[in-house]
């Protein structure tokens, strides 16, 4: 059993995948970081860390491969950010922060190693930034970003001012990170590389335990062991919140309870501590009856889908059972939740076509998005999904499951694989997913040329249709391009009709 937290000198918890970072390395105090430089600072996770460190008075700089709205925002907040990578940026730097996606041959990381500078993983730097705060850490294959954002919204609505770091931006105008004054921290805990064992939360939430990131863990059994390692880092006297509907999370809860940890469950399953019944989803809204905390409560949300009802119930349990927040205040806050960027985010409407964007990148997430889209599409309209597979290894391992998840759409257009941190794998392309959709009874086509996608999709779409762009890569840029092309085609048709 782990008796000391990773990051405080403990032995590495059993189940953490081996890799480039030792999660048991003792972490420095905030004041010992010196000047900090973050590589790829424009990313969602890295920018959140940069903002929190900057807010706590640390001298922060960063670099990114390309200019972006996030880079501009960080500069406006007083951070020095360069575009491009250069070892010269490390002049005067004491600590360099990177993510797992940064390869060892990156010129800045290589220089940091050569110079003997302190190198921290993004999660380790985040743990330092929130040191001394009471923490909720939300993990899971599906729903962790939305659940984290819901917890933040609920706590703020209850009059608290939590510090937070989320892997996406809140739609209501808030950023992906904020340094609060209440002594509470809410963190999205990423399981993809094992780094979620560094936070030592008072409350841990696990929404699902599913076979993902097999390029890191290797086997399904190793994934489950990784989550057990996360649970061992919850502070003595703390709480684990798990989804009873997810078999892996339910088993994790049983395992944790058997070791004396307080466990609260939620879901539609009988016997859940917070049981969800009477689910209703109409358009972009959803609601349910939730029984828990000594009574029944109506949960009404402004976001669609049964999965968001479950995410909200996880947030309810974490806030009420974890930190003792008033149930009515939490329910009111959840009702005010407007969503997060790239989670069923409405991008606009043109020529009667609504365009939505979503970050889903594993089969369960994709299936949930397709289900929500089916409920939100207008009567008589078609559900069209444009899907960009993320990672060659994930595409190879789960092509059949992606096909089943996507087959519920009326039409699926599959782009080629977004490589992210991987090199191409021979024989692996978006064609595998398109073929799997067809094999599952759906209608699909493979479009390897992403530049042609706006025109192809605009010609395919009709008034009343719903288009969802889905994937964790750069497909998020596609929605506005399709909307512009729809407007252009509509304008041309009007001109042709008048000539």
| Burial group, residue 258, by CB count within 10 angstroms (0-12, 13-18, 19+) | exposed
Phi and psi based region of residue 379 (left: phi greater than 0; alpha: psi -120 to 50; beta: remaining): beta
Is 100 among the catalytic positions? no
Active site residue 490: no
Among 100, 108, 144, 365, the one annotated catalytic:
144
* Strand 285-292 to 274-282 pairing: antiparallel
Helices (H) and strands (E) in the chain, counts: 16, 21
Checking DSSP bridges between strand 353-358 and strand 345-350, what pairing results, if any?
antiparallel
- Out of 145, 148, 233, 313, the active site residue is 145
Give yes or no for a contact between 34 and 94, defined as CB atoms under 8 angstroms apart. yes
Angle, alpha carbons 238-246-309 (nearest 5°) = 85
Q: What are phi and psi of 426, to 5 degrees?
A: -55, 135
327 assigned to active site: no
Query: Which DSSP string do the residues of 137-191 spell out, in sequence order?
Result: EEE-SSSHHHHHHHHHHHHHHTT---EEE-SS-BTTS--SEE--SSSEEEEE---
Assess contact for 382 and 410: CB atoms under 8 A.
Answer: yes
> Is-contact 6 12, C-beta < 8 A?
yes
Token duo for residue 429: 């392309």
Single out the residue of 98, 147, 144, 151 nearest to residue 124, CA to CA. 98
Residue with tokens 């392309």: 429
What does the alpha-carbon distance between residue 52 and residue 57 come to, in Å, rounded to a whole number?
Answer: 9
Q: Looking at the annotation, which residues are catalytic?
A: 144-145, 188
């Amino acid at each position: 059993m782990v008796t000391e937290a990773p990051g405080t000198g403990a032995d590495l918890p059993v189940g953490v995948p081996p890799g480039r970072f030792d999660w048991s390395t003792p972490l420095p105090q905030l004041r010992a970081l010196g000047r900090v430089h973050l590589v790829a600072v424009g990313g969602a996770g890295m920018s959140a860390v940069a903002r929190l460190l900057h807010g706590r008075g640390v001298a922060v700089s960063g670099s990114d491969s390309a200019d972006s709205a996030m880079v501009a925002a960080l500069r406006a907040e007083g951070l020095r950010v360069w575009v491009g990578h250069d070892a010269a940026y490390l002049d005067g730097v004491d600590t360099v922060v990177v993510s797992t996606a940064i390869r060892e041959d990156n010129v800045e990381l290589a220089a940091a190693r050569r110079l003997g500078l302190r190198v921290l993983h993004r999660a380790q730097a985040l743990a330092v930034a929130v040191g001394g705060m009471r923490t909720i850490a939300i993990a899971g294959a599906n729903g962790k970003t939305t659940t984290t954002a819901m917890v933040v919204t609920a706590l703020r609505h209850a009059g608290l001012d939590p510090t937070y770091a989320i892997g996406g931006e809140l739609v209501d105008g808030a950023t992906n990170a904020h340094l609060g004054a209440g002594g509470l921290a809410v963190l999205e805990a990423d399981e993809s590389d094992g780094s979620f064992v560094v936070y030592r939360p008072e409350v841990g939430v696990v929404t699902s335990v599913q076979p993902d990131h097999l390029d890191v863990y290797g086997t399904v059994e190793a994934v489950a062991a990784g989550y057990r390692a996360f649970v061992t880092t919850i502070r003595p006297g703390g709480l684990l919140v798990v989804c009873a509907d997810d078999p892996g999370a339910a088993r994790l809860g049983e395992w944790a309870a058997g070791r004396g940890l307080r466990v609260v469950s939620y879901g539609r399953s009988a016997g859940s501590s917070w049981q969800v019944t009477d689910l209703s989803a109409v358009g972009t809204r959803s609601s349910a009856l939730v029984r828990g905390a000594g009574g029944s409560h109506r949960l009404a949300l402004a976001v669609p889908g049964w999965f968001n009802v479950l995410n909200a119930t996880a947030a309810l349990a974490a806030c009420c059972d974890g930190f003792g927040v008033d149930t009515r205040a939490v329910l009111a806050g959840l009702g005010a939740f407007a969503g997060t960027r790239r989670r069923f985010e409405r991008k606009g409407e043109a020529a009667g076509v609504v365009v939505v964007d979503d970050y889903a990148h594993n089969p369960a997430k994709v299936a949930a998005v397709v289900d929500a889209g089916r409920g939100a599409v207008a009567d008589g309209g078609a559900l069209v999904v444009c899907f960009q597979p993320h990672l060659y290894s994930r595409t190879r391992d789960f092509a059949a499951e992606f096909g089943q998840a996507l087959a519920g759409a009326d039409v699926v257009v599959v782009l080629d694989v977004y490589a992210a941190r991987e090199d191409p794998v021979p024989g692996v392309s978006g064609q595998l997913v398109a073929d799997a959709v067809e094999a599952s009874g759906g209608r699909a086509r493979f479009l390897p040329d992403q530049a042609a996608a706006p025109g192809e999709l605009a010609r395919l779409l009709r008034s009343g249709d719903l288009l969802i762009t889905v994937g964790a890569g750069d497909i998020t840029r596609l929605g506005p391009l399709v909307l512009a092309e729809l407007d252009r085609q509509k304008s041309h048709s009007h001109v042709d009709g008048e000539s």
